Amino acid sequence: MPKIIPFRAVRPTRDKVSLIASRSYDTYTKAERKARLDNNPYSFLHIVNPGYKYHKELSGQERFQLVRNRYLEFKEEGVFIEEALPAFYVYKIVNRDNETFTGIIGAASVADYKNNYIKRHENTIQAREEVFKDYLKTTGFNAEAVLLTHPDFVPLNAIFEEVMRARAEYEFTTTYRDTHYLWPVTEERLVEKIKAIYADMPELYIADGHHRSSSSALLSDDLDAAETPGEAHKYFMTYIIPESHLRIHSFSRMITDLCGMDKDRFLIKLDSIFKIENRGEEYIQPSKVHHFSMYLEGDFYTLELRKQYRNFKNALEGLDAQILYDLVLKPLLKIQNPRQDARLAYGKGKNDMLGAKEKVDRGTYAVAFGLFPATVQQIKDISDEGLTMPPKSTFIQPKLRSGVTIYEFM
């Protein structure tokens, strides 16, 4: 039932794509951003940080307008080109661990998002939605696709194989040692097949990009109310991949203090909820659901949820991030709002407890918890029940680079 359509992407010329492609702005350290901006005149960071050329920090509408100005300059200078025909884009990433992610970039319907054919599992923050909506409205383009997923489907794999027999339009490797490939698909026979495959699916699920999709829906409402001509604003750019290609990692939780308790008192409180084992200096990352790791005052611990706490009434209650919040963060450590409490911070990645350990050892935080990653089925079940996860419940790969395909709607 979801309507996914091809679009005429604005994208870099083949010779410059590796120079333009960048990670999301906030994933760089200040030093990394400066190095790229100083040494690479083609980096997409020059577009999203337009004040750099004036040695000035910009914000709000002033920044948004200059983002548009820089973008138009890149187009005028021939750094970007526009696809001659509407296209889907087969996009493949092979990462440093030799994991492969393959999917299709296309445009998804805002109406399908509103009607829950594109299902969400995270709450969004209204202020962030409004800011990004204003950004989109001023700049007129989006360079970061929403990541959608669906069950594996053999006919789609056949299309991937057929398209990828040809030479890729793009093939470039990043400093993260991920290799990216892109094939535009404009042949009418294949375009219609792809549209039909998605139309036959009952729904798609948002894996990553809840704020982007929500902001696109707000923008569509604004432009509809203003009787804006055209259809482009009724869609948003997506990267759609089969479930088996998703990689889900967890975010650790780090808390600044034990809410007035000493170590022994805190462990006694936890003992009524978990079976606890002190593992000393042995690095522990949870190996299965409902098992947690904890680092406290120089020691790692394993925490296994006791059976009396496993009578879950819905899919959300069985999510480890929710369990930790309901049984530890809120009642014991008095974290009332995990989105805003300054005492709570998050790490991410496969071995994020190593970073958390260092921060606890430095005294920045008092305790850290590691979680087993959520599964695709958990995400789907929570979405299907109309529930939403706590913040930072999932860190999902793959991550596309900004500036490789750009969706214009104004």
Q: Show the tokens assigned to 195.
A: 């549209």
> Which residues on neighbouring strands pair with residue 89, listed in sequence order?
105, 184
How confident is the prediction along the chain (410 residues), in pLDDT tens digits per residue?
899 999 999 999 999 999 999 998 888 888 999 999 999 999 999 999 998 877 777 788 999 999 999 999 999 999 999 999 999 999 999 999 899 999 999 999 999 999 999 999 887 778 889 999 999 999 999 999 999 999 999 999 999 999 999 999 999 999 889 999 999 999 999 999 999 999 999 999 999 999 999 999 999 999 999 999 999 999 999 999 999 999 999 999 999 999 999 999 999 999 999 999 999 999 998 999 999 999 999 999 999 999 999 999 999 999 999 999 999 999 999 999 887 899 999 987 666 788 999 999 999 999 999 999 999 999 999 999 999 998 888 889 998 999 999 999 97
Residue 354: which H helix or E strand, with range? helix 352-361
Determine the CATH number of domain 251-393: 3.30.1760
Left if phi > 0, otherwise alpha if psi is -120 to 50, otherwise beta: which for 297? left
**What is the domain partition of the chain in residue ranges?**
4-248+397-408, 251-393
pLDDT in tens, 324-335: 999 999 999 999
pLDDT in tens, 92-125: 999 998 999 999 999 999 999 999 999 998 877 7
- CB burial class (10 A; 0-12, 13-18, 19+) of residue 162? middle
Kindly report the backbone phi and psi dihedral angles of residue 11, in degrees, each rounded to the nearest multiple of 5, phi listed first.
-150, 160
pLDDT in tens, 52-88: 877 777 788 999 999 999 999 999 999 999 999 999 9
Residue of 204, 214, 192, 211 whose CA lies nearest to 239: 204
